[in-house]
């Protein structure tokens, strides 16, 4: 299989439409813009205070006054704007973000997400995730299906929650799952895995869609 993170990012990119205002979490989600179609132009918003994130600058051309929410160098497109964090969170809390894409430590069948702390370990922390998963119109979790063989998709999250019942879609290297009232609905699968292998790698029951199809990337 191609690089797992880029495989996942390429599938997530198909969920986005031209003109969408999108917030990207740190890590894997930042790869999504690299896989957008030529006819899809996003307005990327960052909770540290700007809209219009551009491509990552080439080495040696970074401006450390322009960084994404993870503190990494970022570019800004013509027409982009900087503002204070209060304005940034007004955009988020006001429902103006069409989609947020973020990673997770754990997700469960009820759409609960835990992505900010592992007790006793150093991790990046909450950041703007608590506001984003509540304020964005669509919440997409992009992550590897397991962590060294340990389930990350569970019947019930075991780690402290970021928010309850907010996740709409989970995309991993194994498949695409929608959060429904009946549980997690497997709508797409990676043909490199069998449905049984996907079930075994998932810590809760999966509902298999009648229209199950191969992942399109």
- Mean pLDDT within 163-168: 98
**Domain span including residue 16:** 4-45+96-214
Choosing from 15, 47, 173, 188, the catalytic residue is 47
Q: Is 158 within a domain?
A: yes
Tokens coding 121: 């370990």
Per 3-state DSSP, the chain is made up of helix, strand and coil in percentages (nearest 5) of 20, 30, 50
Rg (the chain; Cα; Å): 17
Q: Is 195 within a domain?
A: yes
Is pLDDT larger for residue 50 or for residue 178?
Answer: 178
Residue 157 phi/psi, 5-degree rounding, is -60, 140
Question: Does 47 qualify as catalytic in the annotation?
Answer: yes
Q: What is the pLDDT of residue 88?
A: 93
Q: Is 90 within a domain?
A: no
Q: Is 77 within a domain?
A: no
3-state SS class at 178: strand
* Bridge-based pairing state of the strands 206-214 and 183-189: parallel
- Specify the pTM: 0.93
Q: Is 66 within a domain?
A: no
Q: What is the pLDDT of residue 198?
A: 98
Is pLDDT larger for residue 105 or for residue 118?
Answer: 105
Domain count, the chain: 1
* Cα–Cα distance, 11 to 37 (Å, whole number): 12
Q: Is 55 within a domain?
A: no
With a CB cutoff of 8 Å and minimum separation 6, the contacts of 77 are: 52, 53, 54
Q: Is 123 within a domain?
A: yes
What does the DSSP 8-state code read for residue 160?
Answer: P
Question: Which CATH number do you get for residue 190?
Answer: 3.40.1080.10
Which of 34-38, 139-143, 176-180 comes out lowest in average pLDDT? 34-38
Q: What is the pLDDT of residue 122?
A: 65
């Amino acid at each position: 299989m191609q690089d797992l993170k880029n495989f996942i990012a390429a599938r997530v990119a198909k969920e986005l439409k031209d003109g969408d205002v999108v917030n990207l979490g740190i890590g894997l989600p930042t790869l999504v813009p690299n896989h957008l179609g030529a006819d899809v132009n996003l307005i990327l918003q960052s909770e540290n205070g700007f809209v219009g994130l551009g491509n990552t600058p080439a080495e040696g051309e970074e401006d450390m006054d322009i960084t994404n929410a993870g503190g990494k160098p970022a570019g800004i497109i013509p027409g982009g704007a900087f503002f204070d964090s209060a304005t940034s969170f007004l955009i988020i809390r006001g429902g103006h973000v069409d989609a947020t894409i973020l990673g997770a430590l754990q997700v469960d069948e009820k759409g609960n997400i835990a992505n900010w702390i592992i007790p006793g370990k150093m991790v990046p922390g909450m950041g703007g995730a608590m506001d984003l998963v509540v304020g964005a119109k669509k919440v997409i979790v992009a992550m590897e299906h397991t962590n060294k063989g340990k389930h990350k998709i569970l019947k019930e999250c075991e780690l402290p929650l970021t928010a309850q019942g907010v996740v709409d879609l989970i995309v991993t290297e194994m498949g695409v799952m929608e959060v429904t009232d009946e549980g997690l609905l497997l709508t797409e699968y990676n043909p490199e895995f069998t449905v049984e292998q996907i079930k075994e790698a998932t810590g809760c029951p999966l509902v298999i869609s009648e229209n199950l199809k191969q992942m399109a990337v």
